[in-house]
A and B are shown apart, each in its own frame.
Chain A
Amino acid sequence: MTTATKFKTMKDLPRVDYLSPGNPLCAGCGGVLAVRLFHKVLGPHAIWVNAAGCMTVITTYPLSPLKSNWFYTAFASAPAGAQGVRDALDVLIAKGKVKPSEDMKVVVVTGDGAAYDIGLQSTSGAIQRNLDFYYLVYDNESYGNTGFQMSASTPFGSSTKTTPPTSRFPIGNESPKKDLFEIWRAHKPPYVATLSSAHVVDFLRKVEAGTTMKGPKLYLAMAGCPTGWGFGAEETIRVERLAVETGVWPLKEAVDGITKHTYVPRALKPVSEYLKTQERFAHLFELEQRNAPVAAIQESVNSYWRAVSAAEGVQVRLVE
């Protein structure tokens, strides 16, 4: 992370908001909070290019809570929409048809269904072409807007509407969460980072870091989902904080492909503390062999942080 930063403490959080209060999304939506924080750093001269998902209803005709441009494209191709806008601005500014003062930051905003599944091809293309854009994923680990079905981002052990735990499939979702951070990083973009609204200074600094770079700047923001995950709307920050403290949601960045964790918990909390906050994992604690899946989740978290310790020379006390 760049050392020169405007954001040192919570007091540095910009007061100005470009996302006005009042929108049709759920109370306590972690995605909206991520968009709001992100926008504070980007400033008003921006265009949000969206794919189908929860955020799509944020501008429902004839209203928009945004003080910037909004463009809904399609489920699979928001990064290509960003390509068209960015290219057109470049070409028209060069030809003198558009004033340089009309230039904008082009930001793709999608959920994880678009980012991990149906839009991954389009994202890969945009990164490979070194498109100068931001990509903010609000990761609620499911197809949230359609009512909480499994996506490639859904973690092992989560119940969803398409992976309901039954006596024959007691674990719920049996697939691991796809590692989109590493898929993005393999394309060697200038900047990749994870975000959590529970760590605001870390969040703001990472967006700020992106503004100093040209090319693809990609962000995975945890988006605690009260309605899907099953917790109270006032609990979003607490749940997201626990995700970080248990090591489930690592805060990290990769500058030119070199990964560094920006927040390393000195001692991980047990994953069960995080899992127990949410209905989607409740079945794991009702199983006869309930220790098995929870232990498997704990072990995957431990093995992740063992690797981090080795690679970055940091000390993390694991939950053994």
Chain B
Amino acid sequence: MKNDRLITGNFAAAWAARLARVDYIPAYPITPQTEIIETLAKWVREGLMDARLVQVESEHSMLTAAGAASLTGARVFSATSSQGLLYGLEMLYNMSGWRAPMVLVNVSRALAAPITLAPDHNDVLAARDSGSVQLHAENAQEVVDLGLLAYRIAEDRRVRLPAIVNLDGFFLSFTREKVDIPEQAKVDEFLPEYKVADPFSATRPVSKGSSVMEGFAYSYFHYHIHEAAQRAREVLREASQDYESLFGRRYGPVEAFMLDDAEYVLVISNSFATLGKQAVVSLRKDGVPAGLLKLRMLRPFPVQEVASTLRGRKVVAVFDQNLSPGSGGILYPEVTSALYHLRDRPKSVLPVVGGLGGKDITKHEMMAVFERMRALGRNGETAPAPMYLMRDDEMARVNRMLSVARGVQPKK
């Protein structure tokens, strides 16, 4: 039986926490995430959830409390965005070292300076190396589903790491979509009770977070975290099968869209994938063999799925909604390194950076990316210059702003 509701991405994230029957929610407000903790606070106070929500004084404290509660045996949920994630970032590294599972929803928002509200992925990708599992949602249905899958992965004894579920601010956080909210009884069947390994105990005391003074011991523990993160792939596969049998929806680490005979493939994540799919559909109508590979799991990185779906394609473009100044898009080198060893790797892999600070991407721009891919296919260029998306009409508006900022009367 379907339980369809028209809800925002943020509301869907709150539903994931509620259905997971979390015990504890340390919280701190930040736009555009705040609706999540507001919703949960209301549900807790109305008695709809048997959990404690504590509003603390910073994201750093929030994630400290989250990890501490997880090690004590509580199922923990929290949410943040942007500078909040970076303010608490130290604690994500600690949590993976403590092997303290939790689910943290990040509602992407570009980082200051300049301070802004709309999304890009520099925030969540700053947590890329923290030892957290990362699942990225395209739509509100994925938010609730990936939220529940994230608990199964994070709490699995083979993994025991924090998991981040990412959704884009504004485009998804505040957009209402039709969502099938899973039935509680089925979720209870899907998600067993959280059991912490060796919790803090009065009668069997333990030490956690002990210092390690020898490099070889530190290396050992970090290789261990790496192996645990690698195992998140197989746990997702298993959990996804269970999820499909209960709810009829299956989630792999990547999603192949119109890839069957595709020669020009756009690699993209999160909500802009919807725009990419739109462009692919329209190109297909014109007979262009376009396709799209959506990255859903970014940590562990789905190397095999990326390699097997992209091998033999003519041209690939990697759309990075982020920028590592001095290098370029962050996902580009990850995708290309997954392809390097293939004999039949695509000849050209085009780096595309776009959508920074929530810059809108028009269909025209998506089409321009495919246009460039087709040109590369024709001329066989192997090291294409990156595309940094910015439209003429947008640049004209920037120039007007620059004039105003300089105190110059803008030309009519």
Interface residue ranges, A against B (CB under 8 Å):
44-45, 47, 49-50, 56-57, 59-62, 64, 66-74, 76-85, 87-92, 95, 97-98, 101-104, 121-122, 124-125, 128-129
Contact = CB atoms under 8 A, between A and B. Distances in A.
Interface in B47-62: 50-52, 54, 56-58, 60-62
A59 B207 contact: yes
Contacts of B73: 88, 92, 97-98
B23 A95 contact: yes
A80 B57 CA distance: 9
15 contacts: A57-B211, A66-B205, A69-B201, A69-B205, A71-B207, A72-B209, A74-B60, A74-B91, A77-B64, A77-B91, A80-B62, A80-B65, A83-B68, A85-B72, A92-B23
Q: Which of B50, B56, B58 is most buried by chain A, counting CB atoms within 10 A of its CB? A: B56
B67 interface: yes
B74 A91 contact: yes
A124 B57 contact: yes
A319 B64 CA distance: 47
A101 B204 CA distance: 11
B200 A69 contact: yes
A110 to B, nearest CB: 13
4 smallest CB-CB distances across A and B, nearest first, come from: A84-B68, A125-B57, A80-B61, A72-B209
A2 B26 CA distance: 35
A16 B208 CA distance: 24
A59 B207 CA distance: 8
Given A81-B68, A121-B58, A45 B210 contact: no
Q: Which of A62, A66, A102 has the most chain B CB atoms closer than 10 A to its own CB?
A: A102
Which of A60, A70, A88, A98 has the most CB atoms of chain B within a 10 A radius of its CB?
Answer: A88
B200 A60 contact: no
A80 B205 contact: no
Interface in B190-214: 193, 199-203, 205-213
A67 B199 CA distance: 15
Given A61-B217, A85-B68, A80 B60 contact: yes
B74 A64 contact: no
A119 to B, nearest CB: 10
B64 A73 contact: yes
User: Counting chain A CB atoms within 10 Å of each CB, which of B26, B65, B193 scores highest?
Assistant: B65
B68 A80 contact: yes
B373 to A, nearest CB: 46
B94 interface: yes
B384 to A, nearest CB: 43
Interface in B65-87: 65-74
B201 to A, nearest CB: 6
B90 interface: yes
Contacts of A76: 60
Identify the interface centre among B58, B72, B193, B205: most chain A CB within 10 Å of its CB: B72
B212 A70 contact: no
Contacts of B72: 84-85, 88-89, 92
Given A84-B67, A85-B200, A74 B23 contact: no
Nearest to B208: A71
B120 to A, nearest CB: 27
Contact of A74 (B26, B64, B202, B213): B64
A80 B64 contact: yes
Given A60-B211, A69-B207, 14 more contacts: A59-B211, A71-B207, A71-B209, A73-B68, A78-B64, A80-B65, A81-B65, A87-B54, A88-B23, A88-B72, A92-B73, A92-B74, A95-B50, A97-B193
Given A77-B60, A125-B56, A103 B211 contact: no
Nearest to A90: B52
A99 to B, nearest CB: 9
Contacts of A77: 60-61, 64, 91
Nearest to A84: B68
A215 to B, nearest CB: 15
B54 A101 contact: no
B200 A104 contact: yes
A74 B60 CA distance: 9
